[in-house]
Amino acid sequence: SFNQISFANWAPGGEDALSGTANFNLNAFYRKNSVTFENQAILIYGMIQSRDKGLMKMEDRLEFNSKLNYKAVKYWNYSLLYTFKSQFAPGYTYPNRVDAVSRFFAPAYSTLSLGMDYVPNRYISLFMSPISGKFTFVADQKLADNGAYGVKKAIKDTAGNIIRHGEPIKPELGLAVNAKLKYEILKNIIVDSRVTLYDAYMDEDITNRWNVDVDFETTINFVINSMFSTSFNSRFVYDDNIMVPLYKKVDGLKTPNGQGPRLQIKQAFGIGMVMKLERKKKTR
């Protein structure tokens, strides 16, 4: 999808901008007897170019999900779930374009969960795992030394020299819950919603053992025809280990004021061209 806006002698003010986002959502599904195997890849990258601020990254997402189910009883399945999340390119707190706050595999999240999957129909699934291992990777030593994304930060002497570098990996064991809903509420209006909850009940810091990580995403697709569609996407993320820059107004200017965990919110609305690739089962 693309968006372009420009101004000429526009009294209220404004800034010329050109933006574009590529969104690849790939799904593969296998079923045989009591076994089902679901795979999903979400690849998103977006850039925005403005006259005053230059070229900036707008959206960046690299995610893979796989779920292997074996039929237990009626609506219940024994289930093994694997997820991986990261990004493609470095991210910055603009206008700072020197100090990256994130990179590929910094952070990256890898989760392997064993549990039960409740699937009453083809629209809903609820996965619950009392044994879920989560690994947070920060493959950037500078970020790891700062303790970014919850890893153990570097130990320094009184002069500020590093005695021991920060750890690039943080392992966790906890409870995971994943719920998904995909339903056509009206003709050509499809709601695709999912929520992921994770609680690391074995965290070394006892005060963090009830800080539940939340990732709640909803996409509403309005299908115009076979080539075009409009979509609205919202995503809410909370992770107590992710520090968000905080600001305050000083003499009318936006001034840095430390950092802390906050509810992260992203919303997007756009119209785009859709190419649907589907392999249909051959009929005899």
Which residue, among 41, 19, 18, 21, has the nearest Cα to 29 in the 3D structure?
Answer: 41
Residue 57 near residue 46 (C-beta atoms within 8 A):
yes
DSSP output for the chain: -EEEE--SS-TT----EEEEEEEEEEEEEEEETTEEEEEEEEEEEEEEEETTTEEEEEEEEEEEEEEEEEEEETTEEEEEEEEEEE-SS-EE-TT--SSEEEBTTBSEEEEEEEEEEE-SSSSEEEEEEEEEEEEEE---HHHHHTTGGGPPPPEE-TTS-EEEPPPSEEEEEEEEEEEEEEEEEETTEEEEEEEEEEE-TT-SSGGGTT--EEEEEEEEEEE-SSSEEEEEEEEEEE-TT--EEEEEEETTEEEEEEEE---EEEEEEEEEE------PPP--
CA 146 – CA 106 distance, rounded (Å):
12
Mean pLDDT taken over the chain: 89
pLDDT digits (tens, 9 = 90+) for 48-78: 988 777 889 989 999 999 999 999 999 999 9
Burial class (CB in 10 A: 0-12, 13-18, 19+), 142: middle
264 DSSP β-pair partners:
237
199 DSSP β-pair partners:
175
pLDDT digits (tens, 9 = 90+) for 182-211: 999 988 899 999 999 999 988 777 877 788
pLDDT band at 256 (very low <50, low <70, confident <90, very high): confident
Q: How far is CA 271 from CA 51, 193, 249, in A?
A: 24, 19, 36
Residue 201 near residue 207 (C-beta atoms within 8 A):
no
CA 245 – CA 242 distance, rounded (Å):
10
Which residue, among 196, 153, 156, has the nearest Cα to 176 in the 3D structure?
Answer: 196
State the pLDDT at residue 280.
Answer: 64
CA 113 – CA 118 distance, rounded (Å):
15
Contacting residues for 187 by C-beta, under 8 A, at least 6 apart: none
pLDDT digits (tens, 9 = 90+) for 137-169: 999 999 999 999 999 999 999 888 999 999 999
- Whether the per-residue pLDDT at 9 is higher than 70: the answer is no
**Rounded percentage of the chain residues whose pLDDT exceeds 90:** 59
Q: How far is CA 202 from CA 24, 25, 205, 267, in A?
A: 36, 34, 8, 33
Q: How far is CA 283 from CA 160, 266, 279, in A?
A: 70, 43, 12
State the pLDDT at residue 184.
Answer: 92
Burial class (CB in 10 A: 0-12, 13-18, 19+), 192: middle
